[in-house]
Amino acid sequence: MLLRNHAARLITINARKDGVTKRYDVLPGDNPATEVPDEYCKSDFVRNLINIGHLSVVPAELAEEAPKKRGRKPAEQASEDTEKADE
């Protein structure tokens, strides 16, 4: 399962299987989605992060696309707002 981090911090998923611990770092910001095995995504920790919006599941065909930016859109909109306020 591909996971993208929308939180402002690094999210690390530690998984233990057959005495071996694996670590999956899901980087925040404009980083690509991280592949995490489905069996580890079923944990309460990961499901909770998905439910509160810190992690999102990304379809495979969208994995390479950069995440959409949040916040105000283009600078032109900001300049139009200031012009209206000046009137």
Report helix, strand or coil for 26.
Answer: strand
Structural domain range at position 61: 2-86
According to the model, what pLDDT value does residue 24 have? 94
Spatial neighbors of 59 by CB under 8 A, at least 6 apart, are 2
In 6-45, which ranges are E strands? Answer: 11-17, 20-26, 34-35
CB atoms within 10 A of CB 37: 13
The number of domains in the chain is 1
According to the model, what pLDDT value does residue 17 have? 84
* Successive 10-residue mean pLDDT values, the chain, 87 residues: 92 90 92 90 93 91 59 55 55
According to the model, what pLDDT value does residue 16 have? 87
Taking a C-beta distance cutoff of 8 angstroms, is the pair 55, 67 a contact? Answer: no
Taking a C-beta distance cutoff of 8 angstroms, is the pair 41, 1 a contact? Answer: yes
Q: What pTM does this model have?
A: 0.66
According to the model, what pLDDT value does residue 29 have? 87
